[in-house]
Amino acid sequence: MKTGLLMDVNGDLAVSSGELVVGNTTYQNEYIILKSQRGEIKEYPLMGVGIDDIVNDHDEAGWKMKIKEHLAMDDIKVAKIFLSITTGKLEIEQ
């Protein structure tokens, strides 16, 4: 579990009672890595899955490998990935 500053649903820093909210950042980090394209994360220019590019692609195995590799860059261990390009469903078990 990683602890850090949390974001709200708009991607802004979460604030509660006038203070920044601290908590488990694993899932928000996972989301950021999945949504980002390579080069968008300044400190880690090689990190970023670019999951939006999955539309009209048929290489599920390649996407699974890419997801696992990029999450591993942030020390997020992946036990299993379920991905259906047809339905757009993605589940990641840690």
Q: Tokens for 82?
A: 């379920």
pLDDT tens track, the chain, 94 positions? 789 999 999 999 999 999 999 999 999 999 999 999 999 999 999 999 999 988 878 899 999 999 999 999 999 999 999 998 888 889 999 8
The CATH number of the domain holding residue 48 is 3.10.450
Q: What is the dihedral of CA 35, 39, 43, 46, to 10 degrees?
A: 90
Helix (H, G, I), strand (E, B) or coil at 83: strand
Provide the domain count of the chain: 1
Q: How far is CA 38 from the centre of its chain?
A: 12
pTM attached to this predicted model: 0.86
Range of the domain at 50: 3-93
